[in-house]
Amino acid sequence: MIETRPSVLLVDDDARTIEILAAYLETQGFGTTLARAPEIAVQLMRTIAFDAVVTDVVFDGFADGNLVLSAARDLQPRAVVVLMTGYPAIENAVRAIKSGANDYVQKPVDPAVLATFLQRALRERDITRPDLTFGDLVDILSAMVANTIERVDPYTAGHGSRTRKYCRYLAQNLGLEETRTERLELAAIAHDYGKIYLEDLGFLTKNGPLTTEEYEEVKKHPLLGARKLGNHEHLAAVRQFVGEHHERFDGGGYPKKLVGEEISLEGRILCVAEVFDSLATKRSYKEVWALPKTIDFFASQRAKAFDPVVLDPFLDLLEVHGERWMRQPMQDLAAAGLLVPGGNPAPTIARA
C-alpha cells in the first residue's frame, strides 16, 4: 500500500495557534494549509482536497466552526474533522461531534496529541477500504496502536505484536487454519485499541490499583475497541475476538460473562496470550513477574480463567520459550528508545 503525505487544513483566527500546530505536524509527515476565517476555509475546500480539517469552534465569539464542519461534510465527506475548543463541554462542540466531527481537542492544543488524533482517525478511515490485504490490515492496525495507545502508555510498547506472536504459536499448535489464524493475529494486535476511547486516559498509567469506578470504566474497552475497528469484511471475526479477550472460561470475565465454548477458540487463545504478556511487562502499577510465579498463576487458573485446551499447550511452550519471552518486553522498550535511566519507561502523554 503506497503511503502519501496527508494534507491538513488548520482553521483558527489566532494565527500563532495554527502556525505552531503546522510546524509540529510538518515534522510528523503532514502537509498543512492555514486559514484564519471560516469563509476562507470553505473556499479552500472548494478547490483543494484535504485529508483532515482541524478547526476552532469559536471565531470572534461566535460558534462558526460548525460552518467549517458542515462544509467539510458536504464538500469533502472523506476528510477527518477535528474540533478545537477551550470549552470541551460546550453544547455546540458536542452537537457538532454528533453531526460528523471525528474528535475534539481542548485548547491550548498539544501538537503531539493532535498528531496522534489525526493519525488514528486517518488509519480508521483507511481501514474501511475493500481492497486491503491481510498485510495491509496488519500495517494499519499496528500503526493505529503504535500511534495511539502505545504513545499514551509506553509500558505497553510492543504488547500487541508480542501477543500476536504468542497467538500464532498457539494457533499452529491447535491446528487452526490459516485464515482463522490471520484474523486472530489482527485481533491480538488491536485488542487494547478501545482504551484510547476511555473518558480518562490517566487510568492507564495510574500508580496503584484502580478504584471501583475507574475499573468499571476500563472494562468498557473491549466493546469500544470492537466497535471502533471498522466494517471491513476481514474484520468481522476480529471484532468478535477483541470483544472477548477479557472473558473467562468460568464465566467470571467481562463484558458479557461468556462461559466455556460460548467464547470463540480464538478469544480463548487471545485471553491466555495477552495475560501472559501483561504479567511479563512492567506496568505503572506492578513489576515484572518471574517465570515460576507466572506458571504457578496459570496453573491455578486452569479451567477457571483459562481453557485447559489452550492453556496446557501454552505451558508446554513456556517450558521452551518462557525465559526469553519474559525478557522481551524490556528489550522492546529499550529498542524503541523508551527507557530512561533506572530502566523505566519514558514519561507519557497521559501524565503530561
pLDDT at position 350 is 33
DSSP β-bridge partners for residue 344: 340
290 vs 250: CA distance, rounded Å = 26
Contact between 61 and 92 (Cβ < 8 Å): no
pLDDT at position 64 is 64
Contact between 320 and 313 (Cβ < 8 Å): no
pTM above 0.75, yes or no: no
Instruction: Look up residue 106 and give its amino acid.
Output: Q
Instruction: Look up residue 48 and give its amino acid.
Output: I
pLDDT tens string 278-335? 999 987 778 899 999 999 999 999 999 999 999 999 999 999 999 999 999 988 888 7
203 vs 38: CA distance, rounded Å = 37
Average pLDDT across each block of 10 residues of the chain; the chain has 352 residues. List them in order.
79 94 95 94 95 82 69 91 71 53 81 86 78 85 75 78 97 96 96 83 76 90 88 86 98 97 98 96 85 97 98 97 94 73 46 26
Are β-strands 80-85 and 103-106 bridged in parallel, bridged antiparallel, or unpaired?
parallel
Q: Which of 221, 33, 195, 12 is nearest to 120 (CA)?
A: 195
Q: How far apart are the first and last CA of the chain?
A: 34
**Helix (H) or strand (E) run with residue 277 in it:** helix 265-279
209 vs 192: CA distance, rounded Å = 19
Residues in Cβ contact with 14 at an 8 Å cutoff, skipping those fewer than 6 apart: 56
| CA distances, 150 to each of 203, 204, 237 (Å) | 14, 10, 24
171 vs 253: CA distance, rounded Å = 22
Residues in Cβ contact with 38 at an 8 Å cutoff, skipping those fewer than 6 apart: 11, 55, 59, 64, 65, 67, 68
